[in-house]
Structure 1
Amino acid sequence: MKLVYILSQRYSGSTLLSFLLGTHSDVATIGERRKFYIHSFEKKGSDTLRCSCGQFFPDCEHWKSLKEGVSDRINIKTINTNPTEFRLSDNKYIRKGLFELLKLSLKYNSPLLRIPLQSKLKSFSQFNRVLVEESLKLDGADVFLDSSKVIDHLIFLSMIEAFDIKVVWLTRDPRAQVNSALKYNKWSVADATERWKIEMQENQFWLKKLKINYVSLNYEALCHDPTVEMNRLLNFLELNPEDFSLDFREQTQHIMGNYNMRLGSDSKIVERKEWLETLSQEQIRTIESMTKDYKAYYSKTV
C-alpha cells in the first residue's frame, strides 16, 4: 500500500497541504491519522469536535463508515492502548522508556531489543494497516495521506511491512516557526529556537537511518508559487499533476488537523508573516544567529 507521510513541525502548513493533496482523486486522507482512534472510540471530546465537512465526528457519514469498516475487522474490545497514537503504555514514563528502547533497536540494528515490544507492535501494525485499507476502499483511492507530522509516528509506520512510504518533509522559515511556538508555549526565544533545531536534526537523522524516500517542501515557497510546488510534489509522488485543484474547498473533505484551517471558508493560499510584526529586532537577531546554518529554510519572499 502506498502511504504518503507529511513530516513537519507544528504550525508549518500541514493541514493546508493535506487539503491540497486531498483534492487528488487517487489520494485518500483523514488528515492526522494519529487522531482517528481517540475521535472514533475513546469518546474524549469527539462529540464536540467537527470534521472538516462541518459535521460533528459522530454525525459524519464518512467517519461513521470508516469506523464501522475498521470495527468489522478488528475487535476493539481487545485494544487497551491507543493504536493510532502508537501508545506503548498508558504510563507516560514507561511509554517514554519503551520508545527509547525501540529507537535504540533501530539505531543499532538490534531486533532483540524489540522482543518485549513485539505484541504491541503487532497490534499497532494490524490496526493501522486495516485503517489505511478501509480508508482507501471507502474513497476508491490508491494512495493514503497521513499528516500526523511527528517523526515518532513515521518511525512506527516504517516498521509496517505493508506500507510503501514516501515522505513530504514540510518546513517553514525558523523565524516564523519560533514565533508560532511562542504563542502557544511559555518558552524563551532561545529555547524555542533550540527546540526547532533539535527537531530538524532528529528528522534528518531518522530519514537517513530509515532510508526513506522523501522530498523537501518549503511552506513559504508553496504559498508563493503553489502551482509549481504542487506539480513538483505530485511528480515525486507519481501522481498526475493535472488531477488536483488549488481550490481545495471546492469538494468536501474529511480531515483532522488545525481546527481553524479545516473549518474555515477561505481557500486563498497566503503566506503567514505575522512574525515580522510580532517579533522584536532583538528576537529576530537571536533566531538568525542560532540558525545561521539553516538559511536554506528562510523565506525567499521577505
Structure 2
Amino acid sequence: MIKKIAACCMAAVMLVASGCSDSKSSVSNSNEPKELKITYVKSPLNIPSIIDKNLQTVSKEFAKTDTKISYPEINSGAKQTEALAAGSLDICSALGGTSAILAASNGVDLKIVGIYSRAPKAFTIMAKDPNITTVSDLPGKKVAGPKGTILHQILVAALAKNNLKPDSVELLSMDIPPSVNAMLNGNVDAALVAGSDVLRAQKAGAHIITSGEGLVDATIVISARGDLVKNNPDILKRYLSAHRKNIDYMNQEQAKAYDFTAQATGLTPEDVVTMAPWYDFDPEIKTSDIEDLNATQEFLLATGLQKIRSI
C-alpha cells in the first residue's frame, strides 16, 4: 500500500523539488487557464496562507502571465473536494488527509502535490471533569467531536493504544466549537478539540487528556484537480514555489507573520506565539507522510467511513 501511495505522489514530490527554481524560467504557455481558484483557509492556524493573503505572493507570481487568482473561503474538507469535482475549484491549499482520501475513494480526480502541515500537538482530546485525566477514564463516557476527521482518528488510536475499542465511548458527531461548549456545559464528558479552541477550552478550565503526538501526524495536504496536474504541471511548480516563499517569510519575519495571523484569526499575539510551534509547514512529501496517509486510510476503512481503497 505504501508503494502505491508513493507511486501516486512521485510526480508531486518532483513538483515540490522543482518548485524552488526561478519562477521566471517556468512562465507558462498559452494553454494555461486564465483564472485559478485556490482555497483560502486560515483556521486553525494556517500562517503561510495568512501571509499570502497579506503579501499576495501567489497572485503576484501568476500576474506574470495575466492569470487571475481568486480565493474562495471553503473550510469544510467535504465541500472543498465537492468543488474540486465540479471544476469550480483548482487547488485545495489546505485539505485534511481524511477528506482527500475519502474524496479519491468516491471517484474525485485529485492529486496530492504537497504537504501543508503536520500538527499532532494541535489536535487533542480534552475534558473539564477533573476525574477524567487519561484515555483509560473514557470508557462509558460521551465524547463530542467531528466524525471522520483527524480528531476522530486520534480518538480511535488513543483508545486502541489503551486496549480499548472505539465503541467503548459514545461519540456524538458535531463541529469543534459546539463540542467544546457541550463539554464546558457538562453535556458531554470529553471533546475532540483542535487549534485555537484548545486554548479557549483551557482558559475555561478544561485540560488536555492527550494530543495526537505519538498517535497520528495530523497531516494536512495540498491537492489539485487531476487534469490540472496532468495538463499544466508548470502551474503547480509556480504555485508551490510561491507557497515556499510565504514559508520563508514566516521564518525570516516571524514578528510580522505572527501579527498578520493574530489580526486574521482574532487570537492574541501571545496565543499565536504559543500555538505556532505546534505546526510543521514543510511542504515536502516525506516517507513518514505517506505512512501517515496510509494509516489514515486504514482508519477510514476500519470504521466503515470508506468502502473502497483509493491510495
Compute the TM-score of the two structures, normalised by the length of structure 2: 0.26
TM-score when normalising by structure 1: 0.26
Higher strand share: 2
